[in-house]
A and B are shown apart, each in its own frame.
Chain A
């Protein structure tokens, strides 16, 4: 089973399958980023001007990684193996790029059609994106996950594009397509997923390794006000996922051994 850009969805869905008493698959893999930057253009038509050039993939449980990744590679030659599901979730740049773009362009978004990736990506928006990304990368290093870290700068700096998730010319192709000139709302997945699920995960992942994440936390606070509901400590926050009682070593063991771990029973409790 393969999930696209799932922010620990591999762990979540495996646990839901187990809780439902259904047979678990060989493994659940998840990508760090979207395999395609795509928009539907009709009832049976879709445009994908950009494909992932480097597609990080993590497997839950990581002990099944070799076999699972071989299957994923049959589908996506750009597959780049990650250590585990936490590693790959920390390559997800959705929560890096979208919350800042939605926040700094909230006025334009409220008024109607707007392309946050074109007119909305100003130098000041980039500053916020880079600040969130620096916290994500610091967190990755705190966890000991190896490079590449797929820094967001690789998407904006053509000189580094080859080492990025989407390769050379990606942003130009995306903007030129005009397909992202769209009506966003605060119900859009940029918010419902990247803000509500992704940022709490980032915040908790940083906290777990004593990395400061003031910008990530600040975004959560501001979006909580915009949405008029609490966000921090929810979504895919590691504590909220039931992992708060585990030591860091135990979390790593759980993500390696999965449902074969003695710890599985502890995280199965509702």
Chain B
């Protein structure tokens, strides 16, 4: 599935990495472009079961670019104050 994770909270990182490791195509949106640099090589998840370095399909500060099926970061604030991508499901 094409998934857009909106936000950069603890839960957003876990969601993005875990769903990417599960084989979904994950795009991560963060509000501030300066927060994207550290994520160029993806996110490393340490967890029970599925874990390891996860490559993200894209990181972006442009909601339109995020697309996909939005999964807001658990507890993420960005989900509720910013307009969602135009083609959610």
Interfacial residues, chain A to chain B (CB-CB below 8 A): 1-6, 9, 12-13, 16-17, 20, 22-23, 25-26, 31, 34-36, 38-51, 71, 74-75, 173, 189, 193
Contacts and interface: CB of A to CB of B under 8 A. Distances in A.
A47 B76 CA distance: 17
Contact of B46 (A22, A46, A193): A46
Interface string B37-62: 01101111111110000000000000
A41 B75 contact: no
Given A25-B88, A44-B44, A46-B43, A75 B10 contact: no
Interface of B: 1, 3, 10-11, 13-15, 17-19, 22, 24, 38-39, 41-49, 69-76, 79-80, 83-84, 86, 88-89
A9 B69 contact: no
Contacts of A23: 86
B46 A35 contact: no
Contact of B80 (A16, A34, A35, A38): A16
A4 B89 contact: no
Contact of B83 (A6, A22, A31, A39): A22
Contacts of B13: 38, 40, 45-46
Contacts of A20: 83
A3 B42 CA distance: 22
Given A23-B86, A51-B48, A75 B14 contact: no
A173 B49 CA distance: 13
Given A1-B69, A12-B80, A44-B41, A34 B74 contact: yes
Nearest to A179: B10
Contacts of A42: 44
A187 to B, nearest CB: 12
Nearest to B84: A1
Contacts of A74: 1
A42 B45 CA distance: 11
B10 A40 contact: yes
Given A34-B75, A35-B74, 5 more contacts: A13-B79, A36-B18, A43-B38, A45-B46, A49-B47
A38 B70 contact: no
Contacts of B41: 44
